[in-house]
Amino acid sequence: MSKNKPVKRLKQDYAAYLFIAPFVLLALVFMVYPIAKGFVTSLYSTKWAGDVFVGLANYKKIFSNPIYLKAIRNTLIYVATVVPLLIIIGILVAGSVFDKRPKYVSFVRVCLYLPVIASMVVMSIIWRFVLDSQTGLVKYFSMLIGGEPINLLASETSSLILVIIILFTMNIGQTVLLYVADMLGISKELIEASTIDGASRLDLFRYILVPLTKPTTMLVFITQTSSVLKVFIVVQLLTKGGPNYGTTSLMYLLYQEAFENSNTGLACALGVLMFLMSLVLVMLRFVAERRGKE
Amino acid sequence: MKKLLSLLLALCMIFAMVACGNTTIEETQTPPESKETVPQAADATTVAESAPELPKNVSIELWTDMSIDESVLNNAIDTFEAEYADYGYSIALNKFAGSQRSALISAAKETNSLPALLLSAWFTTSDYAHQGMIADITDIAETVQNDMYTSTYDATAINGKSYMVGLYQSYFGFLYNADMMKDAGLEKFVPDDPYEVTRWTVDQMENDILPALAEYVKGTEKYPIGFFAADNQADTFMMNWLTMLGGNLWADGYSVAGEDTNTIAALEKMISWTNAGLTNSNVITKSGSEVGGEFKNQVSVLSSGQFTNYTANLKAMANGEIETFDMRIAAIPVQKDGKDTVTMANYVYGASVMNNGNEDQIAVAKEFIKWLLNNEEHLTAFNTNAIPCYASITAATSAENPIYAGLAEMEPYIWDFTGGVAGYVSTRSLLFPELQAAYSGDKTAAEALADYSKGANEVIQEYLDNSLILN
């Protein structure tokens, strides 16, 4: 009797399975297969004739080369700074405007969302114009107040900070949008009750907005971690990974290996490393979330 | 009924996807089945009468990143197709920017869709030869060896075998603004003949020209000479500067910059020039394109530049895109062992056949190159795009291009900036970060060059160990 149960259920639900079949197939072809293929390719040397199995040699190269280690460090710095900044500033900005007049909320949302709509390429080029030490705005204002020409992209530290700021400005709009949408869904009675009970704005953030937007925080954490781990365009167009590899990211090196050096095996190993880093960071967040609940 | 409809809908979607996939594979991967053979072309302009057999009805792709008028390419293709009409050959042109080249070729390699013909610069192509992607075309190159300049022929050969046939070349040294030089009181360093390749000494550059120019541009946004290290555009030009100041970059197929005291001293001198205001201040973040742009807008007096930049600037002046000025070409002064001499580096642009696995396409690609080398009209059109690779074309076109004579005199002084090392293209991304480190003070010149040489030699060794044409 029990043996026939799955078959019976399959017969009952076959229409549903057929409906999802095309999408499962697409996911298998365009997501599962490339990921699996990437894992396998990372164990091969593909630069020379044919694919030669090299085991973990590509990974060994990554962890023994100071340039790759610097890229791992930089990428982790980007994630460790940009993602918390996005979450903190995102909640603060959204919490400050969500209960204001709708027109004002829309205005703030549009202003912050503009960099998101604008092409990353265009944004990077605009930043380059701003920062150019010969003709840029930064130099102009520096000279205007009687200072020396500043070349912020010439130092490792300042260029790293600049990339962080640019990534932040490019992503904050989306974060605020998500938080505002979530906060608008919070019961007005709850907020009014807290106000009647004498809760300050800080209490509102601490006891109502932050706890009730936890699902959005999780969403922002996952999507932005994944996005920042893949930082490429800003590095490619603004700093070329420099100076002296000071802003090089894993994705930038992945591109270099795959498309400049025809070294797909090593590029795939970098991709797998980024995938694992993303997985570990998200898992840590989930564990922290679960412990918080307990 | 609903279940039946849903079943049909799902099946349709699956079959549609399967059908689409099959069609694409057949269209792009199946080579032409027809392999009728006919005699090969006999001479330049007419189709052959006696030669090995050639396939029929073959379509090939020609990829190029050459800065050349598209009409030159299209005219050659059209004429070839017309002359080989009985054979049913067609060539599809794909012209793209140099910045896209490596990405497109890497992707094509991964998807087994390499073109049969590649027209590009040798210094960006040589690694592909080591990776087995370029066919040996020594037999074709040898047919024009006597007429081709020695430096050009040698530059595109590895261990005596040719993997490219030069179609034009572009020497690079300095471009300078003679009007600004004269305004700065440096008339005596400007030759009367505008087509003469100017020769200075390192001493004149350092002690007369650059200080006078620094004084001339003082208080303005202009600068005497443009240095740049923002990206891999820096490699060839920075190598020129290092060589100019006595540096030695390659020896016995390896990088020796890190252990050569002259090269270390040369880099230190370059940095001191920048600190003294003889160059632009933002070397670390400056790209070659920006320096070139600022030169043609008369922000700098001297600039690194290749011949194609010279002709492009002249064209821009003629079109009224930029203000007209007296632009000249100068060689790179070199002082070695106390003696003054000059040099220029050279980009050789030419045709290569790619090993794309399709013998018919490879045969047609080779046939196209043979045909082109024997077709005076089209070969001249390619060569006069910049500096001819062939002495006969230089002689035939010098009257209408008076600068060719002066450039031809530079031929014995040309140096191979790639050192002919295996994996040179892959080493290009290693020099500029180290120059940035030296310029920012994060490393000393000795440390930066030592790290560069270490990285470059690892790449070279990998190529020597794995090269499919050396092993």
* pLDDT score recorded for residue B302: 95
How far away is chain A from the Cα of B447, in angstroms, using its nearest Cα? 13
Residue B170 contacts A where some CB pair is shorter than 8 Å = no
Beta pairing, strands B223-225 & B300-306: parallel
Beta pairing, strands B157-158 & B332-336: unpaired
Question: Is B106's CB within 8 Å of A21's CB?
Answer: no
B73: tokens are 């390419």
Q: Say whether B175 sits in a helix, a strand or coil.
A: strand
Question: In chain B, which residues have their Cβ closer than 8 Å to the Cβ of A151?
Answer: 281-282, 284-285
* Statement: residue A191 has pLDDT above 90: no
Question: In chain B, which residues have their Cβ closer than 8 Å to the Cβ of A49?
Answer: 132, 468
* pLDDT score recorded for residue A3: 58
3-state secondary structure chain A: CCCHHHHHHHHHHHHHHHHHHHHHHHHHHHHHHHHHHHHHHCCEECCCCCCEECCCHHHHHHHHCHHHHHHHHHHHHHHHHHHHHHHHHHHHHHHHHCCCCHHHHHHHHHHHHHHHHCCHHHHHHHHHHHHCCCCCHHHHHHHHCCCCCCCHHHCHHHHHHHHHHHHHHHHHHHHHHHHHHHHHCCCHHHHHHHHHCCCCHHHHHHHHHHHHCHHHHHHHHHHHHHHHHCCCHHHHHHHCCCCCCCCCCHHHHHHHHHHHCCCHHHHHHHHHHHHHHHHHHHHHHHHHHHHHHC
CA distance B213 to B300: 10
Question: Is A155's CB within 8 Å of B102's CB?
Answer: no
CA distance B175 to B198: 10
Measure the CA angle with vertex B40, ends B39 and B44; round to 5°: 140
- When the pLDDT of each residue in chain A is averaged and rounded to a whole number, the result is 88
Q: Which residues contact A271 (CB under 8 A, 6 or more apart)?
A: A38, A42, A254
CA distance B167 to B308: 14
Within 10 angstroms of residue B114's Cβ, the number of other Cβ atoms is 23
Question: In chain A, which residues have their Cβ closer than 8 Å to the Cβ of B127?
Answer: 262
CB B174 within 8 A of CB B330: yes
Residue A51 contacts B where some CB pair is shorter than 8 Å = no
Question: In chain B, which residues have their Cβ closer than 8 Å to the Cβ of A47?
Answer: 131, 466
Question: In chain A, which residues have their Cβ closer than 8 Å to the Cβ of B434?
Answer: 244
Q: Say whether B270 sits in a helix, a strand or coil.
A: helix
Question: Is A259's CB within 8 Å of B103's CB?
Answer: yes
Q: Using CB atoms, which residue from B2, B281, B433 is nearest to A242? A: B433
* pLDDT score recorded for residue A116: 78
Question: Is A264's CB within 8 Å of B466's CB?
Answer: no
Decide: residue B283, CB within 10 A, 0-12 exposed, 13-18 middle, 19+ buried. Answer: buried
Question: In chain A, which residues have their Cβ closer than 8 Å to the Cβ of B293?
Answer: none
Question: Is B282's CB within 8 Å of A47's CB?
Answer: no
Question: In chain B, which residues have their Cβ closer than 8 Å to the Cβ of A23?
Answer: none
Residue A153 contacts B where some CB pair is shorter than 8 Å = yes
Q: Where are the alpha helices (DSSP H) in B319-402?
A: 359-374, 376-383, 391-397
Decide: residue B52, CB within 10 A, 0-12 exposed, 13-18 middle, 19+ buried. Answer: exposed
Q: Which residues contact B31 (CB under 8 A, 6 or more apart)?
A: B358, B360, B361
Q: Using CB atoms, which residue from A134, A258, A262 is nearest to B280? A: A134
Q: What's the gap between Cα B278 and its chain centre?
A: 28
Residue B109 contacts A where some CB pair is shorter than 8 Å = yes
**Nearest residue on chain A to B466, judged by CA atoms?**
A48
Question: In chain B, which residues have their Cβ closer than 8 Å to the Cβ of A258?
Answer: 106
| Among B261, B237, B236, CA closest to B247 | B261
Residue B161 contacts A where some CB pair is shorter than 8 Å = no
Residue with tokens 């500067």: B241
The amino acid present at A44, given as its one-letter code, is Y
**Nearest residue on chain B to A21, judged by CA atoms?**
B10
Q: Which residues contact B356 (CB under 8 A, 6 or more apart)?
A: B112, B113, B114, B115, B116, B362
CB A48 within 8 A of CB B131: yes
Of chain B residues 371-430, which have a CB less than 8 A from chain A?
426, 429
Written as tens digits, the pLDDT of chain B (471 aa) is 444 444 444 444 444 433 443 333 333 333 333 333 333 333 444 444 445 689 999 999 999 999 899 999 999 999 999 999 999 999 999 999 988 998 899 889 888 899 999 999 999 999 999 999 999 999 999 999 999 999 999 999 999 999 999 999 999 899 999 999 999 999 999 999 999 999 999 999 999 999 999 999 998 889 999 999 998 888 888 888 888 888 889 999 999 999 999 999 999 999 999 999 999 988 999 988 889 999 999 999 999 889 999 999 999 999 999 999 999 999 999 987 778 999 999 999 999 999 999 999 999 999 999 999 999 999 999 999 999 999 999 999 999 999 999 999 999 999 888 988 999 988 988 999 999 999 999 999 999 999 999 999 999 999 999 898 888
Question: Is B13's CB within 8 Å of A154's CB?
Answer: no
Note if the bond before B388 is cis, omega within 30 degrees.
Answer: no
CA distance A70 to B29: 42
Q: B interface mutation test: which of A132, A138, A253, A260 has the most B CBs within 10 A?
A: A260
Size of interface A-B (CB pairs under 8 A): 106
b or e along A271-293 (b: 16 or more beta carbons within 10 Å of the residue's beta carbon)?
bbbbeebbeebeeebeeeeeeee
Question: In chain A, which residues have their Cβ closer than 8 Å to the Cβ of B429?
Answer: 256, 260
Q: Say whether B281 sits in a helix, a strand or coil.
A: coil
Question: In chain A, which residues have their Cβ closer than 8 Å to the Cβ of B443?
Answer: 244
Mean pLDDT in residue range A26-36: 93
Within 10 angstroms of residue A192's Cβ, the number of other Cβ atoms is 10
Residue with tokens 């192509």: B125
How far away is chain B from the Cα of A17, in angstroms, using its nearest Cα? 9
CB B212 within 8 A of CB B186: yes
Measure the CA angle with vertex B208, ends B202 and B209; round to 5°: 80
* pLDDT score recorded for residue B245: 86
Residue B13 contacts A where some CB pair is shorter than 8 Å = yes
Q: Which residues contact A12 (CB under 8 A, 6 or more apart)?
A: none
A219: tokens are 């969403």
Q: At what angle do helices B424-440 and B445-466 cross, to 10 degrees?
A: 170
Residue B444 contacts A where some CB pair is shorter than 8 Å = no
Residue with tokens 């293209």: B425
Of chain A residues 204-233, which have a CB less than 8 A from chain B?
none
Q: B interface mutation test: which of A262, A266, A268 has the most B CBs within 10 A?
A: A262
Residue A48 contacts B where some CB pair is shorter than 8 Å = yes
* pLDDT score recorded for residue A213: 92
* pLDDT score recorded for residue B268: 95
* pLDDT score recorded for residue A197: 87
The interface predicted TM-score of the complex, written ipTM, equals 0.79
* pLDDT score recorded for residue B36: 36
Question: Is B17's CB within 8 Å of A19's CB?
Answer: no
- Helix (H) or strand (E) segment spanning residue B62: strand B59-64
* pLDDT score recorded for residue A2: 54
CA distance B458 to B418: 16
Question: Is A151's CB within 8 Å of B429's CB?
Answer: no
